[in-house]
Every structure is written in structure tokens, then in C-alpha cells.
């Protein structure tokens, strides 16, 4: 099937870029450089980023991507999560890894890795997402760490990164059963904190949500631009600031687009007790008897 071929290809590209990107993760590296380089690597493969590259450090679990003028660099002691996605002809893939610049967090990474592998071994048609959540939770608790209960994996479909069904990282009663042909992002998050994340005020990632009543001309221009370039896929404020030169107008427009719910915001997520967080992620295709890792 043509569509499945595109999902396989999107997965292959994501895996290739993921592996190549690991050499960028070192002390003193600029976050902005890392994000832009990875996004460029995806484009060089003939694809597009499915969302802005997330670089989430230590107690930040997800949804941080550098600001347009970010001057931050990686520090000794950082636990660094890189989450990237590839879009190819509507097919999407999503993969993530964690690197430890501290020398003291290898067990976080091992726990996330084991949880991911256990989940992958247990996914097959007829098994419920709640059961797989239990497998992930048990695997993480064996390492004396906690799963993050309010972050989940997610079903993926053409042009839709979050296609309805969630794959929890804890045991739940969610009765949805995997079926052949389903594509899911599996992403265990582990922490030594409370096991929950909260929204910070900072938002760097947005996506089109629904048509709203817009007043500003600049807002309408941004909506047209986002729709034609990204559709419903997430985009970064820094992308828009590159594409629209006037800094002041972009700020006012994004503000209006959020207030009118034309855009949805993905706030930066932080572990509530500021525990350190590690994450591993693959995209899988459910097959007749199990699942195929598309981002291997
Ligand atoms: Co991801």
C-alpha cells in the first residue's frame, strides 16, 4: 500500500536523522544551532519536520524548542532529550532519545529504554492501550523510578500527529485495542520526581486549531501562511519570526490568534517536583502478530 510505504520512509528518515544528530549533543553546543541543524537535516532528506525539534533539558519534559533569539548552550550536568518528527507526503513519524551529559543519569535512560522495549514487545492486535500502559509502568518501577502519568504516546494518522487514541505510560482502563495497520508513537517518560508535568507560561510551539474571528491583518496573513505551509502540524514561533520580519506585529498577531482560539498553544512542560526526566520514543506500525518499529 502506497500510504504505508510513506510511513516506512518517514520512519527511516527520522531514524537516520536521530542517529546523525547525536554528535551535536555536547557541552557548550548552542540549542538554537542544534534545533536548526536537525530541522535542516530532515529537509536535506527531502522531507519536512513534523513539528519543531524539542530540546528538553533536566526537569523540562517536553515542548521546549529554542526561542528565535535563544543564546542558551548545553551545560555539563544536563540530561538532554531530543524529540524529532518527519512529515513525508502526509505520513508522519516521531522519535526521541535522551543523552546524559551529567554522568549520573544513565539509569534514567536505561529505565526509559527498557520501558520502550517492553511496550514494543507487548503491542499486537487485540491488546488494549491501557494494558500496554501497565507494561510501561511496571518496567519503569522496576528501576525505582516513576512514569510520568500525564504524558502519553499517541496514535498517528496521515497529517495528524495526535490522531485520537492515547497510549498511557501507566496502567489505565482505556479499552481501545490495537488493530493491524495502526500507527502509534510509543514514548515512555521516566522521572525521580512526582511523576506529573505542569504547563509553564512559556509557549514556543503552536498549531492551527479552528477558524476564529480575527481583526488584525497580520494575523490573517499568518493564518494563511501557516495553513499553506504547516496545515494542522505544530510550528515554532522562531519559524514564523524568520518568515515574517516585523517582530512587533508577529507578537501582536500570535497573541490575537491565541485569544481567539485560532491557534492552540503547546506550553513548555515541567516535572512538578523538578525531578529529572528521560524519554525514549519510537513510532510503530501494528502488524498481524505484533508491531514493526518504523524508526528503528
Ligand atoms: Co516525539
Rounded to the nearest angstrom, the distance between the alpha carbon of 187 and the centre of ligand 1 is 7
Give yes or no: 162 in active site. Answer: yes
pLDDT at 245: 79
Confidence at residue 1, expressed as pLDDT on a 0 to 100 scale: 57
Which residue of the set 94, 100, 192, 204 is catalytic? 94
DSSP letter, residue 209: -
CA–centroid distance, 215 to ligand 1, in Å, is: 34
Q: How far is the CA of 210 from the centre of ligand 1 (A)?
A: 23
Active site (annotated) includes residue 83: yes
Q: Ligand 1 center to residue 27 CA distance, Å? A: 23
Q: In whole angstroms, what is the distance from residue 198 CA to residue 141 CA? A: 21
Digit-coded pLDDT (tens) for 9-34? 999 999 999 999 999 999 999 999 99
CA 135 – CA 102 distance, rounded (Å): 28
User: Is 225 annotated in the active site?
Assistant: no
Residue ranges covered by each domain of the chain: 2-198+271-293, 204-268
Contact 216, 78 (CB under 8 A): no
User: In which band, very low, low, confident or very high, does the pLDDT at 249 lie, cut at 50, 70 and 90?
Assistant: confident
Asked if domains 2-198+271-293 and 204-268 share a fold, the reply is: no
Predicted structure pTM score = 0.97
- Cα 212 to its chain centre, rounded Å, is 26
From the CA of 280, how far away is ligand 1's center (Å)? 8
For 204-268, CATH gives: 1.10.10.10
Predicted local distance difference test score (pLDDT) of residue 247: 76
- Judged by DSSP in three states, 123 sits in coil
**Could you give the strand order of the β-sheet that contains 146-147, starting from the edge strand earlier in sequence?**
146-147, 189-191, 277-279
Strand partners, 235: 206
- What is the number of H-type helices and E-type strands within the chain? 7, 16
pLDDT (average), residues 122-129: 98
The yes-or-no verdict on residue 129 having pLDDT over 70 is yes
Instruction: List the beta strands (DSSP E) in 44-169.
Output: 48-49, 54-57, 60-62, 79-88, 91-100, 146-147, 153-156, 166-167
C-alpha to C-alpha distance for 179 and 128, rounded to whole angstroms:
10
> Tens digits of per-residue pLDDT, 147-165?
999 999 999 999 999 888 9
Is 2 a residue whose pLDDT tops 80? no
Which is catalytic among the residues 107, 143, 162, 225? 162
If DSSP codes are grouped into helix, strand and coil, which group holds residue 67? coil
2-198+271-293 belongs to CATH 3.90.230.10: yes
Nearest CA to 238 out of 37, 60, 35 is that of 35
187 is an active site residue: yes
Cα diameter, the chain? 55
> For this structure, is 281 an active site residue?
yes
Q: Which of 78, 83, 192, 256 is catalytic?
A: 83
Structure confidence at residue 28 (pLDDT): 98
Q: Which of 100, 166, 187, 256 is catalytic?
A: 187
Amino acid at each position: 500500500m502506497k500510504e504505508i510505504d510513506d510511513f516506512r520512509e518517514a520512519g527511516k528518515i527520522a531514524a537516520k536523522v536521530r542517529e546523525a544528530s547525536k554528535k551535536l549533543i555536547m557541552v557548550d553546543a548552542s540549542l538554537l544551532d542544534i534545533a536548526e541543524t536537525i530541522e535542516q537535516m530532515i529537509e536535506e532528506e527531502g522531507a519536512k519536520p513534523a513539528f519543531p525539534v524539542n530540546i528538553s533539558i533536566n526537569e523540562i519534559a517536553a515542548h521546549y524548542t529554542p526561542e528565535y533569539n535563544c543564546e542558551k548552550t548545553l551545560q555539563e550536568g544536563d540530561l538532554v532529550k531530543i524529540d524529532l518528527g518527519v512529515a513525508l507526503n502526509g505520513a508522519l513519524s516521531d522519535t526521541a532519545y535522551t543523552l546524559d551529559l551529567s554522568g549520573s543519569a544513565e539509569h534514567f535512560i536505561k529505565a526509559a529504554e527498557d520501558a520502550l522495549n517492553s511496550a514494543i514487545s507487548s503491542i499486537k492486535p487485540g491488546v488494549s492501550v491501557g494494558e500496554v500502559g501497565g507494561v510501561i509502568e511496571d518496567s519503569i518501577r522496576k528501576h525505582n523510578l516513576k512514569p510520568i502519568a500525564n504524558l502519553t504516546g499517541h496514535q498517528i494518522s496521515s497529517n495528524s500527529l495526535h490522531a485520537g487514541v492515547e497510549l498511557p505510560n501507566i496502567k489505565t482502563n482505556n479499552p481501545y485495542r490495537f488493530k493491524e495497520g495502526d500507527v502509534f508513537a510509543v514514548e515512555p517518560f521516566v522521572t525521580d520526581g512526582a511523576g506529573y508535568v505542569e504547563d509553564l507560561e512559556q509557549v514556543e510551539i503552536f498549531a492551527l486549531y479552528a477558524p476564529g474571528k480575527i481583526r488584525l491583518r497580520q494575523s490573517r496573513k499568518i493564518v494563511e501562511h501557516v495553513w499553506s505551509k504547516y496545515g494542522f502540524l505544530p510550528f515554532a514561533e522562531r519559524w514564523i519570526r524568520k518568515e515574517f520580519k516585523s517582530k512587533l506585529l508577529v507578537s501582536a498577531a500570535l497573541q490575537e490568534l491565541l485569544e481567539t482560539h485560532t491557534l492552540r498553544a503547546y506550553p513548555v512542560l515541567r516535572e512538578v517536583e523538578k525531578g529529572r526526566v528521560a524519554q525514549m520514543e519510537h513510532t510503530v506500525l501494528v502488524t498481524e502478530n505484533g508491531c514493526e518499529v518504523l524508526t528503528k
